[in-house]
Amino acid sequence: MVCCIQACTNSNTLNEQVVIEAFNKVLILDSISSRIPDNLSYDDSLVLADRIVDGWIREQVLLAQAEKSLQWAELKFEQKIENYRNALLVSEYENQYVNSRLNRNVTEDEISAFHKMNPELFKLPEHVVRAVFIHLPEEENDLDSAKIWLQEADSSSIPRLEKWCIERNATFGLDSEYWWFLSDLFDQVPLQVYRVEDMLKNRKVVEFTSDKRTYLLHVLDHRLKDLPSPLEIASERIEEIIIQNRRKNLLDELRDDLVKEAWSLGLISRDSIQH
């Protein structure tokens, strides 16, 4: 087989040159060449070409045997193949149509309005909190300033607290606008809680030690499980929903317009149904 490929490669024949034929199907040189990287050596190219041809032969032999053995199911297979082909064609056309027209820009006002109109879609699976925290080795005992800044948790105190943490190699989470799922927060701050709702309502800095580290936690706000999610948590999902709704509307309009056009051009006809 290598000799055949080599002969075709060294000649000036067109890329439509038939390399091999099996079961009334042909494999042309261009089909083989397109699958061989340009940076391969001559010898490696011949080896890969030989493998491609051998794989093609095996595929044709197996396909021919399958068609021969399954003639009893030919009509069913033909229908499945036709359905699959139609689905691929329609899907590819619709994707190209949508991609060339879909507006993917979603404004904050659109997200907020959708959130207000559909709160039932965004119920919380667990409690969430806005909170800030730090933790550091327990031998650090000068925490008065850190507690004050953590309690204030505003645009003036947070930068000072962050600088303080960096100087002491402390771990911190100081984004006061970020909503934590409670389980995620407890992964960072291993507070032992017996009455969760009481803890969530507490707006004072909580101090405790665990595994030789001192933790300071300040809960700024909370939302209980099964209540509508804060907008900040739901915004990414809302954006996806809005874009998907736009996509659906584009496709609905396309299908309606194509049907109307087909009727107007006489491409569709319908006989009256006799009762």
Length of the chain: 275
Q: For the CA atoms of the chain, what is the radius of gyration?
A: 34
Q: Is residue 95 part of a domain?
A: no
Q: Is residue 238 part of a domain?
A: no
- The per-residue pLDDT for range 149-169, each reduced to its tens digit, is 999 999 999 999 999 999 999
Q: Is residue 204 part of a domain?
A: yes
Q: How far apart are CA 97 and CA 68, in angstroms?
A: 40
Q: What is the pTM of this model?
A: 0.69
Q: Is residue 275 part of a domain?
A: no
**Amino acid occupying residue 224:** L
- Boundary residue ending a domain (25, 45, 69): 69
Q: Is residue 88 part of a domain?
A: no
Q: How far apart are CA 13 and CA 6, in angstroms?
A: 12
- Boundary residue ending a domain (69, 88, 111): 69
Domain match, 196 and 133 both: yes
Residue 60: partners with Cβ closer than 8 Å, 6 or more residues away: 22, 23, 25
Q: Is residue 270 part of a domain?
A: no
- The per-residue pLDDT for range 205-223, each reduced to its tens digit, is 999 999 999 999 999 999 9
- Boundary residue ending a domain (35, 52, 69): 69
Q: How far apart are CA 252 and CA 263, in angstroms?
A: 17
Identify the pLDDT of residue 7: 40
Overall domain count for the chain: 2
Domain match, 126 and 59 both: no
Domain match, 126 and 219 both: yes
Residue 66 in tokens = 């399958």
**Which domain covers residue 153, as residue numbers?**
122-223
Q: Which of 45-59, 73-87, 112-126 has the lowest mean pLDDT?
A: 73-87
Domain match, 56 and 126 both: no
- The per-residue pLDDT for range 161-208, each reduced to its tens digit, is 999 999 999 999 999 999 999 999 999 999 998 899 999 999 999 999
DSSP state letters, 16-74: T-EEEEETTEEEEHHHHHTTS-TTS-HHHHHHHHHHHHHHHHHHHHHHHHHHHHTGGGH
Q: Is residue 62 part of a domain?
A: yes
